[in-house]
């Protein structure tokens, strides 16, 4: 951890109940290409976070003083400001293009991809009413303002379960930040711990909300180490965490914590659609490769009922043609790795697992070089398609944060028997029996019927647990 403050690079402060605080402990944010320090971020200690969490009542009061309707207006305006305005970045200012460049520089996400994620965030902020409609299943939101009310002839009352929503956030993709946004119009203050390389998005969202009229007390922002993130989870009555399996599994039994880990999302094809696989090749490739393959909603598995090897070879041919390009290239489709060593280790892990009989890297047979490539100073893993003869092979259930997919052939009748945890399942079949199996499969979270890309999100649908249910409890209510 750097102790010496670097001259004239933007300083990212903590926000303690919205109040900027410059810590004496800072961490540099470096450009993945060349290593230049482009900003520094104040670091919060667990003790500070714990102390601040005691004062969340004031933040609740500040948000509670506004109606949901007004907060939705604030979200709408914040969406526009996020996309268009120059907003505070500590004591400096940050325009939309600064944001794109800075985020790309520290996370190795191509600038074009960052811009497309901006669209997701704006869409969530501007469409927040629909988001809340989906989360609350059409609740008259004035009931949250008044504490109780009547809807469809029934009295209803909801009790807030927490004085704040803690969120331990990832580095992988800005679009993920849409998941905690509803907390503000739901009147629950936010306590955010950003990913070490990606403080940019949560801070910019916070500043856009403040500029639009959101009370500053409603958002706390604590760049910090793992201990700070743990303190948020331990000290918040409700929280969410994003991370790899080893990170989230520690919290999965804690009902206060909504854990968002790997997705292991899959596309499943019945006999007929497997035979007709070329028709779905675009859908398959997009599900694997969209957003650089970084999201939990990217497909990492294709389970075909037959013609599996042909399908895998077709997908490999298509994905192997996607080149790594520089982060500023508007045609870039692959995201890089901020730490080249991680890319090398992942690639080695895949190679080690390929030693286990029953799996082949079909893309390796199509390209001249290795899986790890460097372009314009940034390290990439190029798309990888594995043909797995055995659904129990470790690579059949793998996810690596780049366009990686295993194609597995399983008899149609056994498609759902061994798919394992699956965040998004796109089931390409019209067969009622297969659809019935999908509907009752406990492993599946988000379910798509028909040729819907796994990464296609409907804003009115919950994601990996319902945030409204996480934050509120319906209680029995009678009034005489």
Partner 1 sequence: MVEILQTPLTDKIHQARQKLDEHVREIVAWHFDPATGCPFWLERATGWDFDPRKEIGSYGDLSILGHFQDEWLRGGPVRRWVPKALADRPISVFETGGSTGVPKSRINIDDFRIDYEMLSDALPDESFPRGRDWLMLGPTGPRRLRLAIEHMAQHRGGIAFHVDLDPRWVNKLVRAQRFEELEAYKAHITDQALTILRAHDTLSCLFTTPKLLEALCEKVDLKRMGIEGIFCGGTEMNAQFHRFAREELVPGVEFVPIYGNTLMGLACPRPFDAEVKDYTITYYPPSPRAIFDLVDPEDPEKTVAYGETGRVMLTTLTREFFMPRFLERDEGERTEPIDLYPWDGVSSLRLLSSLTKTVAVGVY
Binding to partner 1 (CB under 8 A) within 233-292 occurs at 233-234, 250
Number of residues that bind partner 1 (CB under 8 A): 17
Residue 233 or 312: the one with the smaller Cβ distance to partner 1 is 233
Q: Which of 477, 472, 447 is nearest to 462 (CA)?
A: 447
Considering just the CA atoms, what is the radius of gyration of the chain in Å? 23
476 makes contact with partner 1 (CB under 8 A): no
From start to end of 261-417, where are the E strands?
265-269, 299-304, 359-361, 372-375, 378-381, 384-388, 404-409
Distance CA 286, CA 288 (A): 5
Distance CA 112, CA 267 (A): 26
Residue 22 or 70: the one with the smaller Cβ distance to partner 1 is 22
Distance CA 326, CA 292 (A): 13
Q: How far is the CB of 3 from partner 1 (least distance, A)?
A: 5
17 makes contact with partner 1 (CB under 8 A): no
Q: How far is the CB of 74 from partner 1 (least distance, A)?
A: 31
If 0-12 CB within 10 Å is exposed, 13-18 middle and 19+ buried, where does residue 29 land? buried
If 0-12 CB within 10 Å is exposed, 13-18 middle and 19+ buried, where does residue 352 land? exposed
Q: How far is the CB of 2 from partner 1 (least distance, A)?
A: 10
Residue 248 or 415: the one with the smaller Cβ distance to partner 1 is 248
295 makes contact with partner 1 (CB under 8 A): no
DSSP secondary structure, 385-419, as one string: EEEES-TTSGGGG---SSSEEEEEE--GGGTTTS-
One of 10, 25, 38, 237 touching partner 1 (CB under 8 A): 25
One of 112, 136, 230, 347 touching partner 1 (CB under 8 A): 230
Residues whose CB is less than 8 angstroms from the CB of residue 163 and which lie 6 or more positions away in sequence, other chains included? 56, 57, 59, 60, 188, 189, 237
List the structure tokens of 336: 């890089």
- The strands making up 190-193's β-sheet, listed across from edge to edge, are 19-21, 14-16, 219-221, 190-193, 165-168, 238-242, 257-260
Q: How far is the CB of 375 from partner 1 (least distance, A)?
A: 29
**Cα 14 → chain centroid:** 22
Contact 247, 68 (CB under 8 A): no
One of 9, 10, 38, 50 touching partner 1 (CB under 8 A): 50
Distances (CA, A) of 363 to 27, 320, 375, 381: 39, 6, 19, 12
7 makes contact with partner 1 (CB under 8 A): no
Near partner 1 by CB under 8 A, which window of 5-13, 23-31, 125-133, 462-470?
23-31
Near partner 1 by CB under 8 A, which window of 50-58, 199-207, 274-282, 341-349?
50-58
Distance CA 308, CA 222 (A): 47
45 makes contact with partner 1 (CB under 8 A): yes
Residue 225 or 377: the one with the smaller Cβ distance to partner 1 is 225
Distances (CA, A) of 232 to 148, 180, 204, 228: 30, 15, 21, 6
One of 47, 138, 147, 278 touching partner 1 (CB under 8 A): 47
Near partner 1 by CB under 8 A, which window of 125-133, 227-235, 419-427, 472-480?
227-235
Residue 47 or 65: the one with the smaller Cβ distance to partner 1 is 47
Contact 172, 197 (CB under 8 A): no
Near partner 1 by CB under 8 A, which window of 41-49, 310-318, 376-384, 403-411?
41-49
Near partner 1 by CB under 8 A, which window of 210-218, 229-237, 311-319, 342-350?
229-237
Residue 89 or 232: the one with the smaller Cβ distance to partner 1 is 232
Near partner 1 by CB under 8 A, which window of 43-51, 88-96, 343-351, 430-438?
43-51
35 makes contact with partner 1 (CB under 8 A): no
Half-sphere exposure of 231 (CA within 13 A, CB side): 21
Q: How far is the CB of 9 from partner 1 (least distance, A)?
A: 19
Contact 475, 158 (CB under 8 A): yes
Residue 27 or 81: the one with the smaller Cβ distance to partner 1 is 27
One of 17, 40, 43, 350 touching partner 1 (CB under 8 A): 43
Residue 48 or 405: the one with the smaller Cβ distance to partner 1 is 48
51 makes contact with partner 1 (CB under 8 A): yes
54 makes contact with partner 1 (CB under 8 A): yes
List the structure tokens of 159: 């009790």
Binding to partner 1 (CB under 8 A) within 361-380 occurs at none
One of 13, 18, 46, 215 touching partner 1 (CB under 8 A): 46
Residue 247 or 317: the one with the smaller Cβ distance to partner 1 is 247
211 makes contact with partner 1 (CB under 8 A): no
23 makes contact with partner 1 (CB under 8 A): yes
List the structure tokens of 324: 């790594």
H/E stretch holding 221: strand 219-221
* Site map 342..361 versus partner 1, x via CB under 8 A: --------------------
Residues lying near partner 1 in the complex (CB under 8 A) are found at 1, 3, 23-25, 43, 45-48, 50-51, 54, 230, 233-234, 250
């Amino acid at each position: 951890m750097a102790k010496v403050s670097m001259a004239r690079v933007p300083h990212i402060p903590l926000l303690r109940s919205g109040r900027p605080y410059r810590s004496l402990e800072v961490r540099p944010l470096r450009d993945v290409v060349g290593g230049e320090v482009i900003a520094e971020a104040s670091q919060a200690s667990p003790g500070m976070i714990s102390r601040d969490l005691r004062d969340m009542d004031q933040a609740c009061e500040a948000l509670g003083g506004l109606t949901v309707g007004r907060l939705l207006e604030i979200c709408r305006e914040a969406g526009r400001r996020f996309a268009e305005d120059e907003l505070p970045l500590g004591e400096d200012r940050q325009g939309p293009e600064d944001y794109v460049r800075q985020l790309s520089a520290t996370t190795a996400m191509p600038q074009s991809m960052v811009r497309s994620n901006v669209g997701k965030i704006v869409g969530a902020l501007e469409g927040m009413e629909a988001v809340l409609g989906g989360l609350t299943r059409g609740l008259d939101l004035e009931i949250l303002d008044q504490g109780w009310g009547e809807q469809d002839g029934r009295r209803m009352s909801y009790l807030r379960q927490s004085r704040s929503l803690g969120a331990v956030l990832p580095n992988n993709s800005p679009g993920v930040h849409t998941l905690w946004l509803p907390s503000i119009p739901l009147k629950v203050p936010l306590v955010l711990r950003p990913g070490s390389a990606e403080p940019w998005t949560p801070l910019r969202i916070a500043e856009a909300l403040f500029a639009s009229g959101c009370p500053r007390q409603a958002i706390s922002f604590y760049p910090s180490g793992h201990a700070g993130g743990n303190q948020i989870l331990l000290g918040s009555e409700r929280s969410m965490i994003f991370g790899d399996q080893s990170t989230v599994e520690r919290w999965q039994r804690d009902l206060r914590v909504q854990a968002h880990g790997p997705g292991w999302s899959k596309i499943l094809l019945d006999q007929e659609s497997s035979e007709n696989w070329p028709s779905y090749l675009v859908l398959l490739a997009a599900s694997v490769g969209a957003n650089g393959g970084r999201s939990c909603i990217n497909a990492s598995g294709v389970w075909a009922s037959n013609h599996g090897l042909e399908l895998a070879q077709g997908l490999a041919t298509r994905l192997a043609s996607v080149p790594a390009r520089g982060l500023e290239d508007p045609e870039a489709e692959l995201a890089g790795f901020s730490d080249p060593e991680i890319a090398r280790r992942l690639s080695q892990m895949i190679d080690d697992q390929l030693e286990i009989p029953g799996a082949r890297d079909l893309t390796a047979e199509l390209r001249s070089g290795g899986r790890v490539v460097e372009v314009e100073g940034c390290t990439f893993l190029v798309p990888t398609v594995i043909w797995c003869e055995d659904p129990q092979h470790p690579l059949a259930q793998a996810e690596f944060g780049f366009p990686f997919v295993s194609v597995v052939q399983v008899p149609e009748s056994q498609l759902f028997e061994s798919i394992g945890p699956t965040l998004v399942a796109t089931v390409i079949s019209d067969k009622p029996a297969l659809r019935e199996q999908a509907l009752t499969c406990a492993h599946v979270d988000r379910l798509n019927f028909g040729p819907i890309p796994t990464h296609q999100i409907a804003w009115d649908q919950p994601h990996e647990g319902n945030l409204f249910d996480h934050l509120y409890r319906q209680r029995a209510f009678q009034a005489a």
